[in-house]
Amino acid sequence: MDTKIEELKAILQPILDEHDFFLVDLEFVHERGDWYLRVYADKPGGINIEDCALISEEYGEKLDELDPISPAYYLEVSSPGAERPLKNDESLQDSIGEYINVSLYQKLDGEKSYEGTLLELTDDQITLEIKVKNLKKKVEISRDKIAKIRMAIEF
């Protein structure tokens, strides 16, 4: 499936480049008996419904022309949302200084998830600044312990 995803991304990328959009995520999933090709795109300043419609129209035409997917599917194009997932090093690097949520495979210091400001990213770990009561504390989390990272909204 990874090679299919890479092929679908390669078809999409020129369309995104032409309009100064960037790909946040692309997934091809089977849910409730149907297949869905989901594109999450963004641009500086944020993507709107007209942008999503433009991508959907142009990408849909290209997919119809090339026919790279054999089962019938629904194409969905949307913004990644305020709490979008951070799935690669590039999106993590771009998020340094931002408020994020980190979910872990197992508890670390009694916690299975952390929210805080991403301070640093290395090949082996991330460093967050979290608030414990009214104090700020740095937490270093080994990347092999991380199940999922997403943007978060600070209250």
> Residue 123 corresponds to which tokens in the numbers above?
């090949």
Rounded mean pLDDT for each run of 10 residues along the chain, 155 residues in total = 88 97 92 94 89 97 95 94 84 91 94 96 96 92 95 86
The pLDDT value given to residue 1 = 55
Identify the burial level of 22 via C-beta atoms within 10 angstroms of its C-beta, where 0-12 means exposed, 13-18 middle and 19 or more buried.
middle
Helix (H/G/I), strand (E/B), else coil: 136:
strand
| Conformation bin of residue 96: beta by default, left when phi > 0, alpha when psi is -120 to 50 | beta
Residue 53: both structure tokens together: 């419609």
Name the token pair of 61: 């035409």
Q: Report the C-alpha gap between 148 and 40 in whole angstroms.
A: 17
Q: What angle do CA 138, 143, 144 make, to 5 degrees?
A: 135
